[in-house]
Amino acid sequence: MKLRSVLLGASAIALLSVGSAKADGELFFYNWSNYFPPELMEKFEAETGIKVTLDVYDSNETMLAKLQAGASGYDIAVASDYMVDVMIKEGLATKFDAKSLENFDNVAKPHDTMKYDPEREYSVTYLWGTTGFTYDAAAVDGELENSWKEFFEPREEFRGKIGALNDEVEMFNAASYYAGVEKCTEDPAEAQKVLDVLTKQKPYIAVYSSEGTIDRMSAREVQMHMQWNGAAHRTKESIPEAVFVYPKEGLTYWADHFVIPDGAPNLENAKTFINWMMQPENAAEASNYAGYMNSIKGSGEFMDPALTADPAVNMPEEYADLLIPSQNCSVKARDLRNRVWTKLKN
């Protein structure tokens, strides 16, 4: 990602470690990598006079661990559905009443509410999408089956040429769909079935990485990659033969949300940023860059037509029943999932 000068310098790192300084005119933004347009950040800085410093992570769990460790200097974090729930319950999110912001009226249903924050006291939706996998159709004769089998038990042409997300939740969820196991299972025997799927696949994996999935596919370093659908869209821009698969066993539907972490040093600037991002033109620019749909009414007129024309982004209605919502599993289930992931990666 073109980060401009947004990587954290020593002084910013110190701030994020202790969270003690008040930095007027600044905003410390913690986000997924390659998930926010640099030009939009420059536009925000120019219009508001607020200087943005960006730090990035590769999974919800990485972000959570840093916040739990006391990194209280962030003003905005981007969290997926289930992670919003975790942050609220652990006291890591600031209540700011999103509905009180001027531009909240621009938020389209059903995004004006959400399961883990029904009154929108802690969060506002940024972008939303699905998690499946993409393959290079030029690498194989004919079409692949719409099934996780093609990813977990790949054909000869793809063996050793597969990229997987380095994300315990996404990988466990997908393997559980394929194995026919509840993704929030607390049963060790069922978790073993998931581990068996992941272990059998492991020799065919070239890399576990949640970053660089677009570049890796575009350079044909791999010929199949688990991807979020927006990344699949951007892959298709460089490889027209790229196909995003909606597996018949189901795939996760998710949304990412702006959250203000507890102890944010620039609370009012954070609210200004969130309110600004609910303007249709700004939300559309984020969608056009990242390749995901947003939650803002009126943004459609500013959207790239290629987004709505791509089935990876604008899902065909026939696949609607395949979508499985994000879910915050019990502590017991999360611990079991983590043990599976740790065993796989060791």
Rounded alpha-carbon distances, angstroms, from residue 55 to 62, 78, 182, 238, 343: 12, 11, 34, 27, 29
Predicted local distance difference test score (pLDDT) of residue 71: 83
Token pair recorded at residue 114: 């959400």
Q: Distance between CA 101 and CA 296 in Å, rounded?
A: 14
Predicted local distance difference test score (pLDDT) of residue 8: 37
Report residues of the chain scoring pLDDT below 70: 1-24
Q: Distance between CA 232 and CA 329 in Å, rounded?
A: 27
Predicted local distance difference test score (pLDDT) of residue 24: 53
pLDDT in tens, 59-74: 999 999 999 999 879 9
Q: What is the pTM of this model?
A: 0.84
Predicted local distance difference test score (pLDDT) of residue 72: 75
Strand ranges, E, within 3-70: 26-32, 51-57
pLDDT in tens, 6-35: 333 333 433 343 333 333 599 999 999 999
Nearest to 250 by CA among 325, 164, 329, 188: 325
First to last CA, the chain: 29
